[in-house]
Structure 1
Amino acid sequence: MVQSVLGSLTLGYRLLWNPARKLAGVQLLVDGDGQTHVDAPHLLRTIREMWSASSPPLLLTPATPALLADLLEHAPAGSPSIEVDGAWLADAALLARAQAAHRRGLRLVWRGLLDALPEPAVARLFGMSVLQLSSRDAMQALQVAAQRGRSGAQPPPASPLIAGQVYDGVASRALLSHCLDDVGAMAVAGWPVEDVLHSLRYQPLQPSHETVLKLLKAIDEDQGIEALESVMGEDALLAYRFMTFTNSASLGLRTGVDTPRRGLVMMGYGALAQWLGELLPHASTEPDMRPVRDTTVLRARLAERLMDAGVSHDLRREVYLSGLFSRLDELLHEPIGTIMRRLPLSERIYNAVVLRSGAYAPCLEVAKALEGGDAALVRRLCEDHEMGAEHVNRSLLRMLAEVQIQRPPRAA
């Protein structure tokens, strides 16, 4: 039996966010297992078979020069964009492969420090760059951003950042805003969740205005329980507030509501619409929270996919809820155990989220690890939990392929 290429890889991913705070693409981090040669053509075919026209654009980021060389040699035009570490181009053979790939029409993306941009002869091989900021450049950019925020007659100095590029390692909300709003960056790789939430710590976070409206629209169109459950599952705070409300004494339900679905069935459309209507004026319109919500949803979807195929639909809902609620401590600024004890959730969900034990914990741990691209950590967790690399990687690719993004309309 021929082993799939996905069994010899360790994958990870990061999301690319555009100035509208919407998903612009996915950076797929590709590492070998250190023992088996990676079949690059097979990997590219596998991705092509899974991806659709509505799937997000991919940026392949190989972890080693050898893997990059194979991708450059075998990827045909029309393949996903391939990131090239600028430091590796000191190898003349690798540079020659990049030049040949460029002539074939392959989309190449240069990666490196903003203060060490390539020479023009090399730069012309690349349509875009993923730029990392030195501490000096980051500090200068923040100073420019601060001066732009002050009123005064003197124009602010020019930013060191370059428009139309992707920026990596943006760790603060202020720098994030400067990249996307002032400079006109194409996107940022990853999202500074910790700093965004820290900057909003003095205001109680509320469910998304967009999601509340979407749920009200689904009710108005008389969509089924499955559809309502799906929309509610797009916002961890909305699902949490709903379950808190349905389990409150004021509602007077006789039994505890242990899932959003059960609450939807017991509450009814009229009462749900009234509750959402009261929630709507206070709902959040903060754009920087959208990537926080969306990354949490993708974590939940991935954890659900990582469960064994034979698990029932009800248990899969529980796994999804484990992933969805796994960030509530960061959102509510309370210990996760305190939050979870307020709800009559199943012991399996509590164990996974709070104690990091039980049947769902491996899926949740691996799903979190795949977000960061730490290949050694992913391999260790997969080994500890006896999860095969092929199953994990296929689950990740299927989850990402199903993400739908809004693409700009083509010019006539």
Structure 2
Amino acid sequence: MDNNVLRNIALSYSPMIDRQRSVVATRLTVSALRTGVPMQADQLLAAIAEVWPEGGARVSLNIMSETLLNDLLRATPLSNVMIEIPSFIACDPANTQALLSLRGTTLLLHGRPTSTLPRELLPCFKYSIIDLADDRRRNEVPGQAATRPARSVGFIQSGVRTVSEMEASFARGAVAILGWPIEDVVTQSGSRAGQPDLAVLVELIRRVDDGDDVDKLDAVLKRDPALAFQLMRYINSPAFGLSVEISSFRHAIMLLGYKRLKRWLALLLATASKDVNMRPVMYASVRRGLLMEQLIANTGDEEIRGEVFICGVFSLLDRLFNKPFHELLQTIPVPERVYQALVEGTGPYHPYLELTKAVETETAPVINELAEGLLMSLLEVNRAVLGTLTMAAQLE
């Protein structure tokens, strides 16, 4: 991953989510932050291939540098790499031949064309990405679509902010949406966000924190076999890096110890909701924990890595439980530095949490500013982002 292009860009990501609320691809936004620096697409593709190898999960590249995008149009991406082509580039006759040569690559037309798209290019695009604010059909009522001409290509909706907008987009035929209306999902879910089995996890975390013996912990977990299975699946995933398979909760405690086990209980707590609309929120929780851990990987000891992981994973618990942090953390024990970041917005972990949020929201200047505040280079941040996405793919 150590190549020149990663030194001069800011990477950010967001999920592409289908109507079943499953993450079908990751959108990777690439923003150039160093003007006048030549960047090569093959270096970017090499870094991406380490995260999304041939035949792996899909990634959609949103390239914010016209120079880098033009170079990418003349490269050979892997089959699972989708490239977003801004409509103004697609409509420029100077790019027609380059786009035609990419027929084996999945192209997404980004934005509504302001001029005529060459007819021969239409079959090159698998989907179009249409922002809700620019969608001329956003006010359609049920049944009205039948009176309009069918869309020539399927579409992915961006700019969705509420659950009702999301549902309306899918009703109009959207194959997916970009991003997720987290705040509105929580409002719509209400008390359904907290599931009864979450109480088992809270009790387990408290008992692990108190150092209860293995038999007591095992008895608590046996009250929910589904959670026990999920815990074993996480611990045995490639992301955990163990050389032997763990066959039982007792075995996990013996091999891992209480501190390492607590991080995986924290992960389960953030991913145990059965509400389908909470899936992308849980997706974000996992990635926040992994990214925060990756950001301090070279500077922190094992205890600090465990704490920042829990900080990131817990950073959306207020949404999942629909309760403020100061109330939630009265029942769930967390280290003091985690409490400072989540409740008070202070402490040594808070800047890392803010940087993690910036990576999610595709705000490149903010990413750069926060990285500088932490004395981190863009290369270090980008390597952490790609490492996070690699580990997240191993957990799914």
TM > 0.5 between the two?
yes
Which residue identity does 1:167 align to in structure 2?
Answer: Q
Q: Which stretch of the first structure deviates more once superposed, 67-76 or 330-339?
A: 330-339
Q: How does 1:219-238 map to 2 (within 5 A)?
A: 238=198
CA distance in 2, matches of 1:117, 1:288: 38
Q: 1:61 & 1:110 partners in 2: Cα distance? A: 11
Superposition deviation, residue 177 in structure 1 = 2.2
In the TM superposition, residue 345 of structure 1 has moved relative to its aligned partner by 1.8
Aligned equivalent of 2:219, options 248, 252, 270: 270
For 2:165 and 2:11, the matched residues in 1 are separated by: 28
Q: Is the 8 A contact 2:193 2:278 kept in 1?
A: no
* Alignment partner, residue 242 of structure 2: none
Aligned with 1:274: secondary structure?
Answer: coil
Pair 41,140 (structure 1): closer, same or farther in 2 beyond 3 Å: same
- Sort the Cα spacing of 1:198 and 1:33 in 2 relative to 1 into closer, same or farther, 3 A: same
* Structure 2 counterpart of 1:257: 209
Q: Contact 1:111–1:130 (CA<8 Å) still a contact in 2?
A: yes
**What one-letter code is carried by the residue in structure 1 that aligns with 2:22?**
K
Task: Write the distance in 1 (CA, Å) between the matches of 2:89 and 2:114.
Answer: 17
SS at match of 2:286: helix
CA offsets 1:183-210 (integer angstroms, 9 cap, x no match): 4432211111111111123x24224x9x
Q: How far apart are the structure 1 equivalents of 2:333 and 2:78?
A: 53
Distance 2:28 2:381 in 1: 14
Structure 1 gaps of 5+ residues are: 145-155, 213-237, 248-252, 408-412
Counterpart of 1:25 in 2: which secondary structure?
strand
In the TM superposition, residue 67 of structure 1 has moved relative to its aligned partner by 2.0
State whether residues 23 and 405 of structure 1, in contact with CA within 8 Å, keep that contact through their aligned partners in structure 2: no
User: Counterpart in 2 of 1:157?
Assistant: 144
1:193 aligns with 2:192: no
Q: CA deviation at 1:327?
A: 1.7
For each residue in 1:297-346, what CA deviation from the matched residue of structure 2 results, as whole angstroms up to 9, or x when unmatched?
11111111111335333322211110111122333343323333444321
1:113 aligns with 2:112: yes
What is the CA–CA distance in structure 2 between the aligned matches of 1:186 and 1:405, rounded to whole Å? 25
2:371 pairs with 1:372: no
- The 1:200–1:374 alpha-carbon spacing in structure 2 relative to 1, beyond 3 Å, is same
Give, in whole Å, the separation in 2 of the partners of 1:394 and 1:205.
34
Q: For residues 55 and 263 of structure 1, what CA distance do their matches in structure 2 show?
A: 41
* Equivalent residue, structure 2, for 1:11: 11
Superposed CA RMSD:
3.4
Q: CA deviation at 1:25?
A: 0.5
Quote the offset at 1:270 in angstroms: 1.8
Q: Identify the residue that residue 243 of structure 1 maps to in structure 2.
A: 202
Give the Å deviation of 1:371: 0.6
Match for residue 193 of structure 2?
205
Match of 2:67 in 1: 66
Structure 2 unpaired stretches of 5+ = 228-271
Contact 1:55–1:401 (Cα < 8 Å) also in 2: no
Question: What's 2:245 paired with?
Answer: none
TM-score normalised to structure 1 length: 0.74
Give the Cα–Cα distance (whole angstroms) in 2 for the partners of residues 341 and 361 of structure 1. 20
Cα offset, 1:99, TM superposition:
3.0
Task: Give the 5 Å matches for 1:100-179.
Answer: 100-102=101-103, 105-113=104-112, 118=117, 120-134=119-133, 137=136, 139-141=138-140, 143-144=141-142, 156-158=143-145, 162=151, 164-179=154-169
* Identical residues among aligned pairs (%): 26
CA 1:53–1:72 in structure 2 vs 1: closer, same or farther (change >3 Å)?
A: closer
Shift of 1:406: 11
Q: Which residue of 2 aligns with 1:390?
A: 379
CA distance in 2, matches of 1:77, 1:136: 31
Measured in 2, the distance between the counterparts of 1:54 and 1:346 equals 41
Normalising by structure 2, we get a TM-score of 0.76
Name the count of aligned residue pairs: 348
